[in-house]
Amino acid sequence: MSLKPEDIYTHENSMKWELNESMPDFVARPLVLEIVKKYSSKDKSLLDVGCGTGRWTKKMAVDYESVVGIDSVKAMIDISKKLNPSDNITYSLVDMFELRALNKTFDVITALSVIQYSVDNVQFAGLIKQIFDSLNTGGHFVFWVPHPMLIMMNTSNWEKCKFEEGSSYFSNFPFTGKVRLTNGDWKNIGANFHSIQEYLNTLVNAGFKLVSFNEPSISKEFVEKYPDMEPDSRYPSFLVVDVVKE
């Protein structure tokens, strides 16, 4: 069994992503934005893999000459074009496992909570190799994913996961669940589990050099606003990684 984005993100669920916020909007995504801004200039290009509704694609696009946002879910692309257009952004319905079909290279590639949809280490390695090949020399790949321990511990007050009993940290397995929005609503999620060592070893084997590796959690300000989230501040909720193709 494996989970694909289109199995989870209906038009209704996609709109929840656009109209509401969840904890990653206050921690992981701003950190990616901060990193991406360091490499921006008006003569550089950016590819956002799994752009979703385009809200964060548009934020990242401000300081780039040209930006391409791709997603395999038609509902996401439709919303992106309608609600988050920009003269320097092109949104396209493209599966991330078919990056070579773009026939382009970029200065920066981002992936905000999407590469975990790889069903096993073979498909994951293939995806990372395509990302490597789609970067110009000196280009950066910046991404975030839910921290693997967040999923395995399954004690978070913002993300609740379901997976088969006996699933191991050292194996790939599908999981479903829900993420709490700041308005109190919940949205459906689903992906496939990968360990930290799989993420890092696959990046290195593809030829990437590690620039930064972050394990952020929620801020004190966030806990003050949502006190029941205090237990989540005691351990990392995300992996935010920056690697370069030298």
Position with higher pLDDT, 15 vs 213? 213
Q: Looking at residue 226, what DSSP letter applies?
A: S
Would the pLDDT of 10 be above 60? no
Least confident of 45-49, 105-109, 225-229: 225-229
Would the pLDDT of 126 be above 80? yes
Angle between helices 121-133 and 196-206 (to 10 degrees): 40
Task: Report the pLDDT value the prediction gives residue 51, as an integer from 0 to 100.
Answer: 94
pLDDT band for position 8 (50/70/90)?
Answer: very low
- Taking the C-alpha atoms of residue 199 and residue 169, their distance in angstroms, rounded to an integer, is 13
Position with higher pLDDT, 10 vs 79? 79
Q: What is the pLDDT of residues 60-81, one digit of tens each?
A: 999 999 999 999 989 889 999 9
Least confident of 51-65, 73-87, 121-135, 176-190: 176-190
Q: What is the pLDDT of residues 133-160, one digit of tens each?
A: 999 999 999 999 999 988 988 888 888 8
Q: CA dist 6 to 50, 118, 189, 210, 228, Å? A: 12, 14, 11, 31, 32
- Taking the C-alpha atoms of residue 50 and residue 59, their distance in angstroms, rounded to an integer, is 15
Task: Report the pLDDT value the prediction gives residue 176, as an integer from 0 to 100.
Answer: 87
pLDDT band for position 1 (50/70/90)?
Answer: very low
Task: Report the pLDDT value the prediction gives residue 9, as an integer from 0 to 100.
Answer: 54
pTM for the complete prediction?
0.91
Q: Is the CA virtual torsion 125, 121, 234, 20 positive or negative?
A: positive
Would the pLDDT of 18 be above 90? no
Mean pLDDT of the chain: 89
Least confident of 30-34, 103-107, 172-176: 172-176
